[in-house]
A and B are shown apart, each in its own frame.
Chain A
């Protein structure tokens, strides 16, 4: 895989995760409290940074052949799951990923939930929802960067691609203040998978 192909694959895969995180944060902010939701984003990013900083150097202690085998195996499992999902969606056996529906469901759940308050965090529900969404989707982004970057020997390119994807999705999300329902996630997954196996 060339550097350009690696960049495209990581960019597309991370854009999908960023759209999902954006949907959760938008729902938390819109339905509950923006200040608490943004605190959750900050806390999630901080936790993510700590996890990556702690686990990143540990990877260098693992023999490269063993690391390649584990990452290659995980990549193959992920690729097969993505391909399976795309085929099932394309053939109508699985519902298409609908960011608008997910946003509406999250919004309804957030509006009906009770919440605790504290001096710093005005709404713990909004904080927790944003925090979990950011951390889980962020971990997936970190995992994508790691698996694609290490297996193709381009961790720098993969990191830049991921940052570009997250920055683009965040920028567009702030500009439109709505879930990015028009992003063709199913198509992106299919293209990303093809790039991985190319």
Chain B
């Protein structure tokens, strides 16, 4: 593995962690919140809902792999 790849892998592992789906879900929820808030609609529930949905799904995925 080259030094650059090791460097990039470190940051990926550091920021994203064990399950990339959770990172993607958080980013997607932030984008939806941004869009809703920009349109003047209530957006407080988006991140909460994202956490409630994505955590059980990630756990289910992790336990099913074993």
Interface of A toward B, CB cutoff 8 Å: 69, 73-74, 76-78, 80-81, 83-85, 87-88, 91, 93-94, 136, 139-140, 143
Contacts and interface: CB of A to CB of B under 8 A. Distances in A.
State the majority secondary structure of interface residues on A.
helix
Interface in B13-66: 14-19, 22-23, 26-27, 30, 47, 51, 54-55, 58-59, 62-63, 66
A91 B63 CA distance: 10
Interface of B: 10, 14-19, 22-23, 26-27, 30, 47, 51, 54-55, 58-59, 62-63, 66
Contacts of B22: 77, 80-81, 84
A73 B18 contact: no
A140 to B, nearest CB: 7
A108 B47 CA distance: 45
Contacts of B19: 81, 84
B30 A80 contact: no
B36 to A, nearest CB: 14
A136 B18 contact: no
B37 to A, nearest CB: 11
Given A69-B30, A74-B15, A83 B62 contact: no
B51 A81 contact: no
Nearest to B23: A77
Contact of A84 (B10, B30, B47, B55): B55
A85 B19 CA distance: 10
A185 to B, nearest CB: 16
